[in-house]
Amino acid sequence: MARSPATLSPSTAWRWATVLLILTSVAHAAERSFDFASETVGQPPRDFLGTLTGDGPPGKWQIIDDLAETQAGQPRSSVPIQHPVLAQLSSDPTDERFPLLIYQPEVFGDFSFTTRFKTVAGQTEQMAGVAFRYQDERNYYVVRASSLGNSFVFYKFVDGIRGNPIGVQTAIPTNTWHELTVECLGNEIRCRLNGRELFPTLTDNSFTEGRIGFWTKSDSVSYFRDARIVYTPRDPPAKTLVREIMTRYPRLVGVKICAPPSPGSPPRILASSNPDEVGQPGTEVDLDVLAQGAIFHGKDKKISEVAMPLRDRNGDPIASVRVLLDRFPGQTEANALTRAQPILEYLQRRILTARDLTQ
């Protein structure tokens, strides 16, 4: 698929004032901090996945202890104080090698992401950056800083091909903490280094949403800390589907979709007509539906509940769909299954893989 090139456009004050309004509104924004202090030293942080663009071995991402900075005006302590940071420690010098560490649980559209970074070592390169609107290891945007090249640059990967860089020459001392910020609103992208917007707002239509993570190049040993994202929440597809079903079938009592939110995690309610249930663990019935592909029926005096497997394109169960129906005199199990079947068929036409429920 052809992608349009990134272009420069003048900053538009009123448009980015809207960004600020959206991303700081309590009612409409969410915020997440990546607290490496709560992670295990010597291990990669939870909920992140290491990937690689290009050639060579994967990166070595883990939490390490780094010396804390001495605050201005404070005496230097005789006892070194350390704090945990995220580090990429592999020093393989393969040229076109780009180790990434991507946050898995969420996909972001409009957001403001800030992290601090420090380039520490590297004979070939000394780079640190942020990958954003990440689709996979071959398709994403990146903004990176280079201490050896003294540059701050944006470019994108499309089908594994690195696009033309857009950026400026600027000194980025090694072994010094710097702040990198990237903001996205629709097809507009702003990048800042240490609070300064060094090149104008970019406009690009290649990727409208995606995951976010950390990026380095070649033998760069780089550290990251104090990462934080403020974003406009995005409804997962499962939630949108439940809302559509309740509109399409207004006589239903309720619908729930239960599945693992990420590969290998225990199943949870991803979406429900009762919002208070979202995030709750799956029941034994859900576990049996997912494990066996079986159909279950239960009832009380007023409600019948049917639990059915939603299958991927290979026929494997990927979710438990529970449909709640009003009972009527003489209703049988077969009748309840017949009434619930159109709900499953509606979902089955829309969902081909487990990722279709969450991304």
Lowest mean pLDDT among 3-7, 123-127, 301-305: 3-7
The enclosing H or E element of 24 equals helix 13-24
For residue 175, the tally of other CB atoms under 10 A from its CB is: 11
Strand partners, 116: 179, 225
Band (pLDDT 50/70/90 cuts) for residue 235 is confident
Q: Each residue of 272-305: pLDDT tens digit?
A: 999 999 989 999 999 999 999 999 999 887 899 9
- pLDDT tens, 195-227? 999 999 999 999 999 999 999 999 999 999 999
The pLDDT of 115-141, averaged and rounded, is 96
The angle that helices 333-350 and 237-248 make with each other, rounded to 10 degrees, is 130
> CB neighbours of 271 closer than 8 A, spacing ≥ 6?
236, 238, 239, 241, 242, 256, 257, 278
Model pTM?
0.66
Closest by Cα among 139, 185, 179, 187 to 161: 139
Q: Determine phi and psi for 351, rounding to 5 degrees.
A: -115, 120
Q: Could you tell me if 36 and 117 are in contact, meaning their C-beta atoms sit under 8 angstroms apart?
A: no
**Boundaries of CATH 3.30.450.40 in the chain?**
237-357
Phi, psi of 218 (to 5 degrees): 55, -125
Q: What are the tens digits of pLDDT across the range 10-54?
A: 444 444 444 444 444 434 678 999 989 889 999 999 999 999 999
Percent of the chain with pLDDT over 70: 89
Tell which wins on pLDDT, 171 or 330. 171
Residues 15, 21: Cα–Cα separation, whole Å: 10
In this structure, of 43-52, 230-239, 336-345, the range with the lowest mean pLDDT score is 230-239
The answer regarding whether domain 237-357 maps to CATH 3.30.450.40 reads yes
Per the prediction, the chain carries an average pLDDT of 88
What letter represents residue 287's amino acid? L
Contact 85, 225 (CB under 8 A): yes
- Residues spanned by CATH 2.60.120.560 within the chain? 7-231
By C-alpha distance, which of 9, 11, 17, 352 is closest to 197? 11
Decide which of 1.20.1250.20, 2.60.120.560, 3.40.50.150, 3.30.1390.20 is the CATH code for 7-231.
Answer: 2.60.120.560
Radius of gyration of the chain (CA): 24
Q: Is 214 exposed, middle or buried (0-12, 13-18, 19+ CB in 10 A)?
A: buried
Question: Cα–Cα distance between 247 and 234 in angstroms, integer?
Answer: 20
* Model confidence pLDDT, tens digit, residues 93-113: 999 999 999 998 888 999 999
